[in-house]
Structure formats: structure tokens, C-alpha cells
Chain A
Amino acid sequence: MNSLIPLFVIIPLGCAFIMAMLGRFIKNINKFITPIFMLSLVYLTFHFMLNSEGTLIYKVGGFEPVNGIPIAIYMVMDGLTKLILLVISLVGFLAIFYSLSYTKQYTSERKFYVLFSLMIAGMNGIVISGDIFNIFVFLEIAALSSYALVAFGVEKHQLEASFKYQVLGGIASLIILLTIALIYWNTGTLNIADISRQLTVNCSSQAGTNVFLKFISVLLIAGFGLKAAIFPFHSWLPDAHSSAPSPISAMLSGVLIKAIGVYVIIRLFFNMFPLSYELSMTITVLGTISMIIGGLLAIGQWDIKRMLAYSSISQIGYIILGLGIGMLVLATGGNKAVAALSITGGLFHLLNHSIFKGLLFLSAGAVEYRTGTRDMRKMGGLSEVLPITSRTSLIGSLAISGIPPFNGFFSKLIIIIAAIQAQYYVLAFLAVLVSVITIAYFMKLQKYTFYNNDGSKWKKKKIKEVPFSMAFSMIIMALLCILLSLLVIPDVREIFLKPAVDVLINAADYSTNILGI
């Protein structure tokens, strides 16, 4: 079982280069290979999820630790890893299946699939790596291919957005590399579990190291906050996510900012650093502000994908809020059950958001594919000519605004209940308020895009429903929006969410599990 862990990197990386070579000679081979390997990754993830328990470790090269000091690069597979891998492979598969028809409009189609596979390899690598420098290496693989994918249409605004993304992403990478260098200088190791042990030992004995700890924590929040687009580091996101090809927008908004931003933040702040009240408060406040700011900015947008991009900032705020309250409760030594509930809410919302934001971006892409515009003022009445897109988009909007039978309702409810139980009444109130704002802008989106007139303008232009592969992905995602609400049932939650929550609640166990001390 352990030896299967590197496959999560080998399969997408190998396929990417096979496609780069063969794609030139065999037409359309990329379109066969990519969905098949994504499906195999989905299978592998479920295999790990259902058949393995606890923390699995894989040492690259087979080097055993010497005197308890880890030498090899570690790959770690625990509950949190499995959850994020599930998100990556599931949304990735649906997005690539959608692309089969969507990419016909581009001239160099085959490069799209190569870059996509590289992005998947990078994200999988970040998630399974137990070594902070390898996180950086894989982060660069994922980020570089996403820069290229944002600019894939090579139109003026796409290049501009990609350039902005590259500049801010470059700054983020610089900060992260600096932090890694500082950590290595201070602790002499790069293994997360080992760093955690060193920091715990150093901080209790020396008061001076605490300043250092605060400094690197702030740098890490800035670096990975830029990648996760938390306020005040969010300015690149609306441009980049709205200009990219739609399946890529779905991947960026649904998966990338979580895998290379939120995941690393929670992994490092729960499992590597000793929890502290100040830092938990900083993270929670930043999450809350981005939740509000993202929501307020989304209302005024007329560009359909730009509105969804702002909405992503707002929803990432919800995720950070849920996890932040959990951190606060743990740091102040409060009730562990409340912290568990709050973290469950945060992770559940992370899973849900990847599905419904993916769905909404795919629907917006379908609208753009058929009408050629992203301006909502030029649309209207599209429910007449695009029935499937209209229905799936409606389901996505209902789910994200938190209407009861859909998954978004439950995750938001759990976060709000946890906030009240932890006695952060203001945060609970703000979460409810932003939920109302969310309904407001999604009603605007639905009204101006799909209803508002009888659609005779589009009937005259003979607009048809989107091709099969696009419709299929959207329908599956819409079904998932309903099915995922089953996760509130305790038995189902045991399999999918509980292992991930346990990793974060028993934060100190991470290093003992891995180092075996």
C-alpha cells in the first residue's frame, strides 16, 4: 500500500511527457490519455480512502532515518491528504472531460492537456509531500503551468492577467523560499515533522526564538495567503480566474487555490507550528475580512466569470473562518468537540466549494462558448435555448447561497453553529450576513443571464445546447451538489471527513506518527 503513494506524482508527470512526445505524431492521443489517467487517480484516491487507516509514510530512495533524524524525502498520506487528493482528482477529471469539446477553439490543443497534467502533478505533489522544500518545488510546477494556462487564449486581456498573476505569484514564491531558508537555518532540517519537533523543543526553553517564530509565521501567511488569495492579497485572482479558459477557471478556483494555498496554511499552522492565540486570531480575521470584501465586490460585477472569481474570495473566507475558529478554540484550550465541529465545517465547505464553484465556472464557460460574451447585460433569456446549462447553473447557485437540500447549506450551517458554540457571536452574525449577500449576487447572475426576457434574440441566432462532454460534466457536478449533502450523516462523515479532522485536532500527533518517537 505504501509503495503506491508516489504514483500520485508519477502518473500525471509521466503522462504529461508521453503526451508531449507522442501528441505531435498521433492526432488526438492527448484527449484519450488525460481522462483515463485522471480516472485512474480518482480510483487510487478512493482505494486509499476506503482501505487504509492512519498515517502512511513513504521514504523516497528507501533511506532509513539515522539516529532518529529523517534523511529521505518523506511522502505522507493521512486523512487530510486523502480529502484534498479526492478534491483534486474528482474536479480534475470532470474539468478535463469538459475540455474535450471546449478546447476545439484553440489552435494548439495538445499543449493544453500537457500543461493540465503538469498542474495536476504539481498539486498532487504538494499534497503528499511531507517535506517543506518539496512543497516549494511542486508549488512552482503547479504555479508555472497555471500561469501558462491562464494565458492560453493569448488575447490581450489574458496575457495581461497572466502577467499580473506571474508578478504576484513570483513575489509569493520569493517570500516562501525565504521562509524555508530561514526555517532551515534555524532548525537544520526540512522535514515538516522534524521541524515541528525542533520548534516545540526550542520554543519552550528559549524566549528569543519566539520572535523568530512570529516572523516566519507572518511571512508564511503572506506567501501562502497570496497563493490562496486571502484579503489583502486577493487582487490577482479576479483577473486571472476570469481570463483563463473555463475548465481551467474551474480548476484554479475550485482546486488550485485550496491545494497550494489553504491546504499548506492549515498543514503548517496546525501540524508544524505550536498553536498560538495571536496567529489564530490573525488568520481568522483575515478570513472574515476576505469573506465580506469578496461578497461586497461581487455584487457590482457585470462580467459573469469575474463575479464568480470574487465569489471565490468570499467562499475561501468561509473556509478560513471555519478552520480559524477551530484554531482559536484549540489555542485557548477550549472544548475539543467545538473545535472539531468548526474544522469539520471548514473542510466540508472546502469540498463543497470545489464542486459548486467548479460547476458554476463550467456553466459560465458553456454560456460563453455558445454566446461569445461574458457580459451579463448582453445576455438574458438563455434558459430557453440552453436548458441543461440553465438548470445546472441554478443548482450551483442555490448550493453556493446555502439553500437547504444542497450541500452548501449544511457546511455553512455547521460553521455558524460552531461559531456560536465557541461564543464568537460577531463572526456567526457576519457569516449569516455574507450568506445573504451571496444570495443577492447569485440572484442577479441568474436573472440577467438566464431569465429576464423570452430569449427570441438567441433563437434567431440558432443557439444550441452545448456538446455532450460539456453537458455530462455539468450534470455530474450538479448531482454531486445534492449527493454531498449526505456527508452530514455521521456514518458517511466517518469515512470522508473524520480522518481529516482528526489530523488537525490532534495536531501534535503528526510529528510523532511520522518520526515514530
Chain B
Amino acid sequence: MKGMTIIVKKITQIICPVIFMFGLYIILHGHLTPGGGFAGGVIMAGAFILQILANGNILPKLRKEEEGLEFMESAAILGFLILAGLGLLFSGGVVFFANFLDKGELGKLISAGFIPLENIVVGAEVCAAIATIFIAMVVYKDEEGK
């Protein structure tokens, strides 16, 4: 797959960081506003996919990216599980997924116990998963074309 024209590349270059930031915003405000880990993760993956579409792909580089993403995916799920397990630990071995952190004040960014933390790992997981699926499709299509 070849890249697109210089206009598209330049605009992508400008717009991608903004999209990425927006994804981060959605994830971090998951417990306060609509959206959350899943929605934000998809938006972040969108920024990533836009880059590949605009700039074209270089197979060996993509393969490496895919490996990194796979690692990130597993690590994120593991993080989620560890958070849930910590709940089990802090509640004296009774409640899996117990919200063991301080709940804080309603409406503040740092509040709601460990829900923001879980949103972050869910976001990382979804972003990695969707980007991996996209890369897998691109790689498959290119290998078939040869």
C-alpha cells in the first residue's frame, strides 16, 4: 500500500496528535462524562490507523509495531486482572473487584476509587487490540498481493 499525497500527509500530521489527545481525554474522564476506556481506546486507535492510511505501510516496520502492540494488549489485560485481584486482597480475601481506593469527591478528576485506573488499562487494551486487528488485515492483504 502506497502513501497518499503531501496534502493528506501534512493534514494527518497536524490532526493526529489532537485525535490522540481527545482519546486520552475521553479515557481519563471516563468516570465523569459519557465514554470511557472502550470509546477512548477506539479513538486512540483511530489516530494510529489514520497514520498508516496516509503514510502507507512498510511491512517490516509494521510487523515490529504489531509485536509491541500484542505485548501492550496482554499487559493491559493483566493489569486489569491485577487491579481486580488487589481488590480481593485489600478487602480481606472476600470481594473480587472491590473498589479499595478512596472514593474522593464527586465530580473531581481524581475520584471514584480505582475506576479511572481500570479505564486506563481498558483504554490501552482496546487501542492495542483494534490497531492489531487493522495491522493484521493490512499485512494479510499485502502478502496476498505479492
Contact = CB atoms under 8 A, between A and B. Distances in A.
Interface string A14-29: 1001101100100000
Interface residues of B, number: 20
A137 interface: no
Nearest to B95: A62
B25 interface: no
B85 A10 contact: yes
Interface in B55-111: 67, 70-71, 73-75, 77-78, 81, 84-85, 88, 91, 93-99
| Among B67, B74, B88, B91: residue with most chain A CB under 10 A | B74
Contacts of A18: 74, 78
A171 interface: no
A24 B91 CA distance: 34
A24 B74 CA distance: 12
B74 A60 contact: no
A31 B67 CA distance: 21
Given A3-B88, A21-B75, A10 B81 contact: yes
A62 B113 CA distance: 15
A61 B96 contact: yes
Contacts of A59: 95
A13 interface: yes
Contacts of A17: 74-75, 77-78, 81
Nearest to B81: A14
A20 B72 CA distance: 10
A24 B66 CA distance: 13
A6 interface: yes
Given A10-B96, A17-B78, A62 B71 contact: no
Contacts, number: 47
A58 B67 CA distance: 38
A21 B75 CA distance: 7
A61 B78 contact: no
A33 to B, nearest CB: 13
A61 B87 CA distance: 9
B93 A21 contact: no
B81 A62 contact: no
Given A14-B78, A18-B78, A21-B78, A3 B97 contact: no
B98 A3 contact: no
B74 A61 contact: no
Contacts of B99: 61
A289 to B, nearest CB: 41
B78 A60 contact: no
A21 B74 contact: yes
B81 A13 contact: yes
A189 B98 CA distance: 23
Nearest to A25: B71
Contacts of A24: 67, 71
A508 to B, nearest CB: 29
A242 B96 CA distance: 39
A62 B77 CA distance: 22
Given A21-B74, A21-B75, A24-B71, A60 B96 contact: yes
A20 B70 contact: yes
A21 B71 contact: yes
B94 A3 contact: yes
Contacts of A3: 88, 93-96
A60 B75 contact: no
Interface string B33-75: 0000000000000000000000000000000000100110111
Nearest to B82: A14
Nearest to B76: A17
Contacts of B78: 14, 17-18, 21
A17 B121 CA distance: 14
A20 B75 CA distance: 9
A61 B78 CA distance: 18
Contacts of A62: 91, 94-95, 97-98
Nearest to A59: B95
A15 to B, nearest CB: 10
A99 B74 CA distance: 23
Contacts of B71: 21, 24
Interface in B92-146: 93-99
A120 B97 CA distance: 21
A61 B97 CA distance: 5
A10 B67 CA distance: 25
A61 B98 contact: yes
B89 to A, nearest CB: 11
B38 to A, nearest CB: 15
| Among B70, B71, B88, B95: residue with most chain A CB under 10 A | B95
Contacts of A60: 95-97
A20 B94 contact: no
Nearest to B99: A61
A40 B124 CA distance: 31
Contacts of B75: 17, 21
B133 to A, nearest CB: 13
B118 to A, nearest CB: 12
30 contacts: A3-B93, A3-B94, A3-B95, A3-B96, A6-B88, A6-B96, A10-B81, A10-B84, A10-B85, A13-B77, A13-B81, A14-B78, A14-B81, A14-B85, A17-B75, A17-B78, A17-B81, A18-B74, A18-B78, A20-B70, A21-B74, A21-B75, A21-B78, A60-B96, A60-B97, A61-B96, A61-B99, A62-B94, A62-B97, A62-B98
Given A18-B78, A20-B70, A21-B75, 5 more contacts: A13-B77, A20-B74, A59-B95, A61-B95, A62-B94
